[in-house]
Amino acid sequence: MTRALVIGGGISGLAAALRLRELGGPALEIVVVDRAEHLGGKLRTGQIADTPVELGAETFLVRRPEAVRLAGKVGLAEAVTHPAGLPAALAVDGELRPIPKGTLLGVPGDFDAVAETGVLSPEGLARMRAEESAGGALLPDGDVTVGSLVRRAFGDEVADRLVDPLLGGVYAGRADELSLRATAPALAAAAREHDRLSDAVRAVAAPAAKAPGEAPAPVFGTIAGGLSMLVEATALASGAELRLGLPVRELSHDGERWLATIGDTRDPEILTADAVVLAVPARPASRLLEGVSAEAATEVGVLEYASMALVTMALELDAELPELSGFLVPATEGRAVKAATFFSRKWPHRADELTVLRCSIGRHGQEAELQRTDAQLIALARAELGELIGRELPEPVDAHVTRWGGGLPQYGPGHEERIAAAREALSGFSTLGLAGAAFDGVGIPVCIASGEKAAERVFAGLAAGRG
Ligand SMILES: Cc1cc2nc3c(=O)[nH]c(=O)nc-3n(C[C@H](O)[C@H](O)[C@H](O)COP(=O)(O)OP(=O)(O)OC[C@H]3O[C@@H](n4cnc5c(N)ncnc54)[C@H](O)[C@@H]3O)c2cc1C
C-alpha cells in the first residue's frame, strides 16, 4: 500500500491530508503525525466561563476562497459566520480613534480619510500630503521592508501610527523588519507600476463594483462553534490515521522510501512512507531537512518568529465596552497591550452571557514583555484596557492566558527568495512537499492553499514514480 506521511497536524498539514485523500482515494494510506496531544496547531478553540473562545487564530479572510471552500467540503458551510461589521480603532496619544478608510495594511490611499480620524498630528498630516515619489523606478527590483518604503513616501508618523500597528496585528512584527513582497505582495507589484504609493494603494484597494443597494461583501469569517471544528472535520474527512503526541525527530530518504524517526528518544519508531508533506514551523522543519538537504535546511532555518501572549477575559455584562470590534495600539504608545478584540461585540453569532474580550501582548523583539506570570499579564491587560477605554474594568469573572512562544513567522526581506532556494535544493525529491506558515504566508486561507499545493506536488511525484 502507498503511504503518505504528513508531519504537522496544523491547518496546513490537515489541508494537505484531505487533498491527498481526494487525489489518492481510499487506496492511499495517509498518516498525520503531530508532536502535540491535539490537532490544529495555532487553531485552538477553548472555553472561558463555559463559552467557546478562540485561544489562537480567530478569523479567516473570506476574500480568498480556500477557507470557505474547505469548510464547505467538510460539512461546515452552514457554520461559516461573519463579523457584525463594527469598526476597529487605533489608540493614539492615549485615545481611541477610527482606523482610516481607504488604507491597505495601514498604508494610506485617501489622505482626507486619514485627516478626518485625527490619527496624525498636523505635522504628520502635512508630511503625508507632501508624498514623496516612492513607486516606479524608485522601488528597487529586490525586496525592501514595508517600513522603509512607507517612511520614505509618507514620513514616520504614517509608518509608526498606521502601518506598524496594522502589521503588528497580523504578524506581531515590525514594519521596519517585514518584507514588502512577502507581507503585501499586491502592493509591492502595484508600487512598481505607479509613481506614487498612494496611487498604488488605490489601485489595489479599489472596491469591487456592486449593484446599487447591494451590501458590501464580508471580508472575514469564522466557524460558529470554533475553528477547532474545522480542524476536527478536516481530519475526519481526510480519513488519515492520526498519531498525536509524537514528535518527528529525523527524516531521510534511503533512495526508495522516506524514513521518519518518531516518538521518544529512548523508544523511537521508524515510520516509512512513499511521500512526505512537511507542515511544521521553520525550526523543526529545518532540523528535519538536515537529513535531506543541508542547503534547504539552512535556507529554512533562518526564519525568525515572534512570541505573544493572549489574555482572554470574561467580564460581567455591565462592563460596557465601546461600540468597536476592538483596537490596535502602536508601539510608540509605549504600552504592553498591542491589540484588543471585543469578541462579544465583534461576532453576532455569540450570545454571550458575559462580555468576552481578549488582549494581545508581545511584538517581535519585545519578548521581555512576556516575562511575567499569568496573573501579572491579566492585571496588566485589564489596567491598560481600562485606561484606553476610559473606565476601570471590573475584576474578570474568568481569565485565561495563552502563550504562543514562536507563534508567528517574521518574513524579512528576501524571504520569498530563500524559500524558492530551499524548494530548488529539494527539487530532486518529488515526493517531498513543504507547506505552511513557515513558507507561504501566515493567513489561514494561504496555509490551506499551501497544504493543498504540497499534496498535489507529492501526489504527482508518486504518480511519476509509479509511471
Ligand atoms: C495567536 C495567533 C493568532 C492568529 N490569528 C490569526 C487569525 O485570526 N487569522 C489568520 O488567518 N491567521 C492567524 N494566525 C496565523 C495562523 O493561525 C497560522 O499561520 C496557521 O494556523 C499556521 O498553520 P500551520 O499548519 O502552517 O502551522 P501550525 O499551526 O504551527 O501547525 C504546525 C504543527 O506542527 C506540529 N509540529 C511541530 N514540530 C513538530 C515535529 N517535530 N513533529 C511533529 N509535529 C510537529 C505542531 O505541534 C503543530 O501542530 C494567528 C497565529 C497566532 C499564533
In order along its 467 residues, the chain shows pLDDT tens digits of: 899 999 999 999 999 999 999 999 999 999 999 999 999 999 999 999 989 999 999 999 999 999 999 999 999 999 999 999 999 999 999 999 999 999 999 999 999 999 999 999 999 999 999 988 766 655 767 889 999 999 999 999 999 999 999 999 999 999 999 999 999 999 999 988 888 999 999 999 876 666 667 777 888 999 999 999 999 999 999 999 999 999 999 999 999 999 999 998 898 999 999 999 999 999 999 999 999 999 999 999 999 999 999 999 999 876 678 999 999 999 999 999 999 999 999 999 988 889 999 999 999 999 999 999 999 999 999 999 999 999 899 999 999 999 999 999 999 999 999 999 999 999 999 999 999 999 999 999 999 999 999 999 999 999 998 75
Query: Is the shortest distance between the CB of 263 and ligand 1 below 6 Å?
Result: no
Distance 437 CA to ligand 1 centre (A): 7
Q: Would you tell me how many other CB atoms lie within 10 Å of the CB of residue 267? A: 6
Is 66's C-beta closer than 6 angstroms to any atom of ligand 1? no
Q: Looking at domain 3-41+227-303+412-466, does it have CATH number 2.70.70.10?
A: no
Q: Which ligand 1 atom lies nearest to the CA of residue 287?
A: 41
Ligand 1 lined by 447 (C-beta under 6 Å):
yes
In this prediction, residue 206 carries a pLDDT of 73
**Which pLDDT value is given to residue 318?**
66
Q: Is 12 in the pocket of ligand 1 (CB under 6 A)?
A: yes
Ligand 1 atom with the shortest distance to the CA of 310:
1
- Looking at the domain covering 47-85+304-410, what would its CATH class be? alpha beta
Whole-number pLDDT of residue 441: 96
The CATH superfamily of 99-205 is protoporphyrinogen ix oxidase, domain 3 (1.10.3110.10)
Q: Could you identify the atom of ligand 1 that is nearest to the CA of residue 288? A: 41
Q: Determine whether 91 is exposed, middle or buried from the number of CB atoms within 10 Å of its CB (0-12, 13-18, 19+).
A: buried
Residue to mutate, 6, 280, 448, ligand 1, most ligand atoms under 8 Å from C-beta: 280
448 close to ligand 1 (CB < 6 Angstrom): no
pLDDT of residue 359: 98
Ligand 1 near 108 CB (within 6 A): no
Q: Compute the CA torsion angle 221, 409, 170, 199 (nearest 10 deg).
A: -110
pLDDT at 351: 82
Q: Does ligand 1 come within 6 angstroms of the Cβ of 60?
A: yes
Q: Do the beta carbons of residue 119 and residue 140 sit within 8 Å?
A: no
Name the residue among 149, 152, 146, 154 with its Cα closest to residue 180. 146
Q: Is 260 in the pocket of ligand 1 (CB under 6 A)?
A: no
**Predicted pLDDT at 205:** 82
- Per-residue pLDDT, 377: 98
Domain boundaries, the chain: 3-41+227-303+412-466, 47-85+304-410, 99-205
> What is the pLDDT, as a whole number, of residue 345?
93
Residue 119 CA, ligand 1 centroid: distance in Å: 33
User: Mapping DSSP to helix (H, G, I), strand (E, B) and coil, where does residue 433 land?
Assistant: strand
Does residue 451 line the site of ligand 1, with CB under 6 A?
no
How many C-beta atoms surround the C-beta of residue 232 within 10 A?
18
